[in-house]
Structure 1
Amino acid sequence: MTIDVTPTQLLAALGVVVMLVWVWRASSRRAKAAADAARKGAHLLSLTGRVLVMAAVIVSVQWVVITHQGDVVLLLVVLGLPALFAAYTLTRALTITAWDDSPRRGGRR
């Protein structure tokens, strides 16, 4: 039993294999991009939830101290400490600490 394969059939089979590999790679890239987008959305939602919970804790502690007036030093600490954390965070976020002057890969700008 012999198998006769013409060059046309060989090229057609090779084209089918190349097309299958191309479709497989494209679908895996698309799936990876979708997973990355979902992960970024989950991180943002998680961060938002943590920020809201911490803001609620800070506001409730401040409310308790302000409504039950007692020591002025305690009042200043309760109002000043969150302000210090906020100022530190904003200063770090808005300060340029390094200038990256290296060219990007591929010459893109």
Structure 2
Amino acid sequence: MSAITISPTGLVAGIGVLLGVVLMWRSGKRKARAAADAARSGVRAVSLAGRVLVLAGLITGTQWVVVTYATENTTLLAVVLGLPALFTAHTLVRALTIVADGSRGGKR
């Protein structure tokens, strides 16, 4: 049985080629993950916008029906117009309020 002999230059070249292949594979993997994340975030934004528009249409339609046909009942008018306003105000205040607890880092 004969021993395999590799020159030092061949060994360094082989390790370099192997390292290059690994780096290219990791780079491709990162780019694919970034492209998938970008595609998902675009779909999420469109999906969220669609849900917001549908819910806004339902709320507006309900308010229109009550305002048009039940103008004598002021309690019903107050509930139908005030309840969505309360939810909207709560959501906007939470989204626009910056909470600072003095700590640094990713904890919430």
Cα distance, 1:46 vs structure 2: 1.4
Give me the whole-angstrom Cα distance separating, in 2, the residues matched to 1:2 and 1:89.
74
Cα distance, 1:102 vs structure 2: 2.2
Structure 1 unaligned blocks of 5 or more: 105-109
Cα distance, 1:99 vs structure 2: 3.4
Structure 2 unaligned blocks of 5 or more: none
Give me the whole-angstrom Cα distance separating, in 2, the residues matched to 1:16 and 1:91.
56
| Cα root mean square deviation, aligned | 1.8
The 1:73/1:95 distance shift into structure 2, 3 A limit, reads same
- Aligned partner of 2:45 in structure 1 is 44
- Aligned partner of 1:32 in structure 2 is 33
Post-superposition, which runs of at least 4 consecutive aligned residues in structure 1 deviate over 6 A?
none
Give me the whole-angstrom Cα distance separating, in 1, the residues matched to 2:49 and 2:91.
16
Query: Structure 2 length as normaliser, TM-score?
Result: 0.85
- Aligned partner of 1:77 in structure 2 is 79
Give me the whole-angstrom Cα distance separating, in 2, the residues matched to 1:100 and 1:40.
31
Cα distance, 1:95 vs structure 2: 1.9
